[in-house]
Amino acid sequence: MYSSKIVGLGHHLPEQVITNEYLSTLMDTNDEWIVERTGIQERRWIDPAKDTVGNMAAKAARMALERAKVDVKEVEFIVFATITSDYYFPGSGVIMQRELGLEGIGAMDIKNACSGFIYALSVADQFIKTGMYKTVLVVGAEIQSTALDVTTRGRNTAVIFGDGAGAAVLQRSDKPGILSTHLHADGRYAEELYVKDPGSSRPREERQPEQILDTTGFKVVMNGNQVFKHAVVRFMEAINEALATNQLKKEDINLLVPHQANLRISQYIQEKLNLRDDQVYNNIQRYGNTTAASIPIAMSEAWAEGKMKENDVICLAAFGSGFTWASALIRW
């Protein structure tokens, strides 16, 4: 069986910076309230006139390919993680494929929210390890700002989410790269963090134009206490599972890159693992929660800052809607 290795990382973020101070002009909130609960100071929101999930992903992919010194024509397959496709269908994987001029290659969309990138990474890893492909593009991209309720009623979620895209180039390698991936879910909690519409399971009368004008079902519903309570447990379980599978200890982690859900969750995990500040990469302060894009954006920045060196052990971990949770252990 072959090994797969990440050979390039890239990201793209919209130009528009949305500060906490700006949000306080739209809803009853303030910088202190947001920072205390989430750690977020600002986030990026798209310009709907020029940004799409597909073209942001393509920009991130081009950066990753350029850094990897891999020609775009070498890409044989795309695994695209997003819950905010440009269209209800088709998925945005084919939109990015078109942007990159990769006519004919397969494109698979993964809809696992905050865990989406690790799920996508795992799928790509299997394709390479079994010999089906040599080069796979793995992407996480989201546009969430256009669906947020930016009033006081929606402030608990509106202050959290941002837009962006991140990408990784995976290639067949003689050296171990992706050591293992671990994927989990518990659908009993599906409605604790979800967007109800446009769902197909309602009667036709509920899906008519006059009902759709009531946009309540299109907003994010989140039971924050339940999400936090489960996240801190599942994050640790997934990380410990990855370490145990590879006969490693928490002291062997050079860098932990958690999904950027909430700075308090990341800090809790850091404390439990007894990791130094320089062993955990957080950028939620600048970008908010970009869901499936958060881990590849953070990895791309961490690599550019020299925080991921050859032979380092990199741990990725995520928890989110579904509930789903996942981890990956990587030898850089």
Active site residues: 114, 259, 289
* Residue 3, phi then psi, degrees to nearest 5: -110, 155
Render 64-81 in DSSP notation, one character per residue.
Answer: HHHHHT--GGG--EEEEE
Strands 178-185 and 324-331, bridge-based pairing: antiparallel
Tokens of 151: 């009033």
* Residue 58, phi then psi, degrees to nearest 5: -65, -40
In terms of Cβ atoms closer than 10 Å to its own Cβ (0-12, 13-18, 19+), residue 239 is buried
Tokens of 121: 């990474």
Q: Measured between alpha carbons, how far is 245 from 237 in angstroms, rounded to an integer?
A: 12
Q: In terms of Cα–Cα distance, which of 240, 68, 194, 187 is closest to 138?
A: 68
Q: Measured between alpha carbons, how far is 18 from 33 in angstroms, rounded to an integer?
A: 16
Give the bridge partners for 140, in sequence order.
81, 166
Q: Measured between alpha carbons, how far is 162 from 87 in angstroms, rounded to an integer?
A: 19
DSSP strands (E only) in 82-155: 106-110, 135-142
* Residues contacting 13, CB < 8 A, separation 6+: 44, 163, 164, 165, 287, 297
What angle (nearest 5°) sits at the alpha carbon of residue 112, between those of residues 205 and 313? 170
* Residue 194, phi then psi, degrees to nearest 5: -160, 165
Tokens of 64: 């990753």
